[in-house]
Structure 1
Amino acid sequence: MAHTLYVVGIGPGNPEYVVPRGLTLIKEAKVLVGSERALLDFAQPEQLTYPITGKLSALAEWIDIQLATSDVVVLVSGDTGYYSLLPYLKKKFPLAPIEVVPGISSMTFAFARIGEVWQDADLLSFHGRVPPESALRYEAGRKLGFLTDKEHNPATIAQILLDHGWPAATTAYACERLSYEDERIEQCSLEAMTGLAGFYHSVMIVIS
């Protein structure tokens, strides 16, 4: 019988926000894959683990070996369907049974933290990519949510939006370490956010 590849979304990271089905799979896993931070938070001593470091070809080879004898649980931050490792795994293991357990995306968690709905927001990403120019245009009443990275942190994105005609007084939020004790959320104008340091892997929300 073929072994199953489980892809489990761990939400913003704090175990309190992982759905019960996901927690059960994680606790019962013999083989667990995830970022170093995720493994630190969730792995148990008896589990065989593999840290995701960015070398995806090596990761795929290792998972393939483990699937020959055991199920494999892969932890992905946020939600499995939102900029996660799922598309890569589906491509690499087209014949393997895959069960996907969704989590809370960092984007939806950030909107919840500031008490805003996101049903009318345009969700974009500067994490390892750049949105098209047309997606950055200013429009009164528009609401944006961004994933950020070290190259495009909230300060950089704020300047990009200002250069695209967004008013300097537009309200912006920078959110990092969501769900953890050292969670940090900064609210200010777009103009002020251009001077905000850090927040390299975070969520930025802009509300016009």
Structure 2
Amino acid sequence: MDYKIIIVGIGPGAPEYIVPIAKQQIDNAKVLVGSKRALETLAAPDITSKIITGDIPSVISFIQAQLYKQDVVVMVSGDPGYYSLLAALRRSFPLKKLQVIPGISSMQLAFARLALPWQAARLLSLHGRKPDKQSLCFTEGAILGILTDTIYTSKTIAELLLRHNWPRTTKVYLCARLSYENEEIIETTLENAVQTKEFSHCIMVVTA
């Protein structure tokens, strides 16, 4: 049979943000691949599973072995099309083997929380990536949506933007732990973001 890899977006974190068709695929899966937290939260106790770690080749090998006998459901946080394992799967398998079910990304949820349209926003990921100078340059009316990490935090990104001529009074929203009970959204300025509470994993929305 022509078995498939079904890549499902499981949203920003809280289970209620998983779209119904994705939840249906997870519930019916015989093989699940995902983060440790996702498997602990969503996988049945006796299911065949594989934790996604930094060793991506071992994850690919596991999927290849299972794909000979059944479909494999791969859970990725947020939306599969936005910085997920999907890129590696496209490099390793024929496109006809892949079925993608979209999800709600943390970036999407951040803009929703702010009631801010994002069709014109400049979306950047500094999560495990180095910044591109051109994408950081100030332009009047620009909106940035930025994924942060432990190196490029809310503080270091604010410092970067100030060095790229963004006004010190530029409004900034720090959106942390979105969808969870301890969700936190802080409105501040670039100047204050350098001096106040630092976030290492959040969505940073900057509005010129």
TM-score band, normalised by shorter chain: over 0.9
- Distance (whole Å) between structure 2 residues aligned to residue 182 and residue 143 of structure 1: 26
Range moving further from structure 2, 92-101 or 22-31? 92-101
Once the two structures are superposed, residues 43-90 of structure 1 have per-residue CA deviations (whole angstroms, 9 ceiling, x without a partner) of: 111211211111001111111111122211001111111111111111
- SS of residue matched to 1:166: coil
Q: Which residue of 1 aligns with 2:8?
A: 8
Shift in Å, 1:201:
2.0
- Classify 1:67/1:194 alpha carbon distance in 2 versus 1 (closer, same or farther; 3 Å): same
1:23-34, aligned counterparts within 5 Å?
Answer: 23-34=23-34
Alignment RMSD (CA, Å):
1.3
1:83-130 per-residue CA deviation (whole Å, 9 max, x = no partner) reads 111111111112762110001111111000111111121111111112
Matched, 1:114 2:133: no
Alignment partner, residue 74 of structure 1? 74
Match of 1:178 in 2: 178
SS in 2 for 1:128: coil
Give the TM-score of the pair, scaled to structure 1: 0.95
Match of 1:126, as an amino acid? Answer: L
Identity score, percent: 49
Q: Is the Cα contact below 8 Å between 1:2 and 1:96 reproduced in 2?
A: no
In the alignment, does 2:37 pair up with 1:40? Answer: no
1:120-162 per-residue CA deviation (whole Å, 9 max, x = no partner) reads 2111111111232111111221110001111101111000000
What is the rounded CA distance, in whole Å, between the counterparts of 2:96 and 2:44 in structure 1? 25
Q: CA deviation at 1:198?
A: 4.2
* Structure 2: segments with no counterpart, 5+ residues: none
Alignment of 1:12-161 (within 5 A): 12-94=12-94, 97-161=97-161
**Do 1:76 and 1:85's aligned partners in 2 also have CA atoms closer than 8 Å?**
yes
Aligned residue identity for 2:106: S
2:91 partner letter: K
Question: What are the ranges of 5 or more consecutive residues in structure 1 without an aligned counterpart?
Answer: none
Q: Letter of the aligned partner of 1:108 in structure 2?
A: Q
Give SS of 2:178's match: coil
Determine the C-alpha separation between the residues in 2 that align with 1:135 and 1:160.
11
**Corresponding residue for residue 199 of structure 2:** 199
Q: CA deviation at 1:206?
A: 0.2
4+ long deviations beyond 3 Å: none
Report the AA paired with residue 6 of structure 1.
I
Aligned length: 208
SS of the residue corresponding to residue 152 of structure 2 reads coil
> Matches of 2:8 and 2:85 in 1, distance apart?
10
Q: State whether residues 10 and 76 of structure 1, in contact with CA within 8 Å, keep that contact through their aligned partners in structure 2.
A: yes
Q: Distance in 2 between matches of 1:81 and 1:188?
A: 30
